[in-house]
Amino acid sequence: MTEKLTDLGQFTGSEHWYRHGLIRDVLYTDGAKYVGDEVGTSWLLDEIAIAQRYDPRVAAEEFQVWKLEVSDNAGTLTCDDGNGNIVAAKHIPFTDFPLSEISLWFENSTIYLPSER
């Protein structure tokens, strides 16, 4: 799985936007979809989308940096305001995500890879 994520920088812009299945006003790009589909981490997109609806601290941030950090098959998912100020954090007790970390950004109701900006 790791080899599928080694060059996420190949995603620069997006040709398609996909509507989140549960939170219909949240979209995501080709790069975010690739991460969800190729590694089976659609749960990560779900966490970001659901927070927009149910966590007022997160929803108040116009721009968000979401970072998943993984160690020993457990993770920490944080959301910050783009200036390093954490507005939400969640412990992930188990994940088989193959990288030690990944960042996704959220802005204008869209989840995307930093390279897609």
Cα dist. 54→50, 58, 80 in Å? 6, 8, 16
Q: What is the DSSP letter of 10?
A: G
Cα gap 14→65, rounded to integer Å: 18
Q: Is the pTM of this model over 0.85?
A: yes
Per-residue pLDDT band at 23 (split at 50, 70, 90): very high
Does residue 89 or residue 115 have the better pLDDT? 89
Tokens of 20: 């989140």
- The 10s digit of each residue's pLDDT in 29-62 is 989 998 888 878 899 999 999 999 999 999 999 9
Report whether 79 contacts 105 (CB < 8 A).
no
CA distance 19 to 15: 14
Q: What is the CA radius of gyration of the chain?
A: 13
Provide the pLDDT confidence category of residue 117 given band limits of 50, 70 and 90.
confident
Structure confidence at residue 2 as a pLDDT band (50, 70, 90): low
Answer yes or no: are the C-beta atoms of 103 and 65 closer than 8 Å. yes
Structural domains of the chain in order of their starting residue, each with its CATH number:
15-116 (3.10.450)
